[in-house]
Structure formats: C-alpha cells, structure tokens
Amino acid sequence: MTLPDDPAARKEYPLYSGFMRYFPAAIAAVAHHSYVSNQRHNPGMPLCHDRLKSADEPDALLRHLMEGDYVGTAWRAMALLQKHLEANGAPIAPAAINVVVPVLPTLHECLEARASDELGLNNGEAV
C-alpha cells in the first residue's frame, strides 16, 4: 500500500498538514498543469499519465528549470519521484497508463558509469 496500515505509523504521513498546507498554490498549479497537458497530449481522454509519451523526466526536468518553468519542473520532479518509488516497491499510480517500471539510475550512478566508460574501465582495461 501507499500508506502503512498501522494507525500509529499512518500519523507519520501528514498529507494535509505536512504537504497541502505547505504548498497549496504549488499543488494547484501542478494539478492545472496536469489538466492542460492532458488536454494537449490525450485529447478526449480522462486525466491520465501516459508514460509511453514521455519518459525522460531528468532531462525534461532540467530543461523546464533552465527555461524558468517551475510548474513544469515540479511536475517532472513528482513524476520522477513516483517512478523511483514504484521501482522500489510502491504501488503503480492509479492514473498511470502504459506503465513500464524501469530501475532508474541515480545521477551518481550515471556519473560513475560515464567515468568508467571514459577511463576504459568497462572493458576491463586499466589506465
């Protein structure tokens, strides 16, 4: 489950007081972004996150950030976090369609792999 079953543990997930009350305008803006984007990318369909249409959250997130589109950045950050949590055992989001749950590497893992490639370490070569 997304939330624990234990009543005491559930208190550690303050959805309203620890999220909605912290970011009400941001949450509304991201929700509106979902609506507008769904109208553009899935016209005539109910709200859904079609994961086959775009799966490059880290790149898209940084593009939005560089362009000053903070709502798009926040949406992509939430999408990236959701996919990360699902890859680590969380349930698939109810509005997700065309779901493929990849194991997403961390930035650190990507940088290590690139460094290994540049040094020829992936071929077993010593430098």
pLDDT score of 82: 94
pTM of the entire structure? 0.76
Q: Please report where in the chains the tokens 């961390």 appear, as a residue.
A: 106
DSSP characters over 83-107: HHHHHTTPPPPTTEES-----PPPH
What b/e string do you get for 23-34 counting C-beta neighbours within 10 Å, with b at 16 or more?
eeeeeebbeebb
Give pLDDT < 70 ranges for the chain: 1, 101-107, 118-127
Altogether, the residues listed in the chain come to a count of 127
pLDDT score of 114: 73
From residue 18, give the alpha-carbon distance in Å to each of 12, 15, 79, 96. 10, 6, 19, 25
Terminal-to-terminal C-alpha distance of the chain: 48
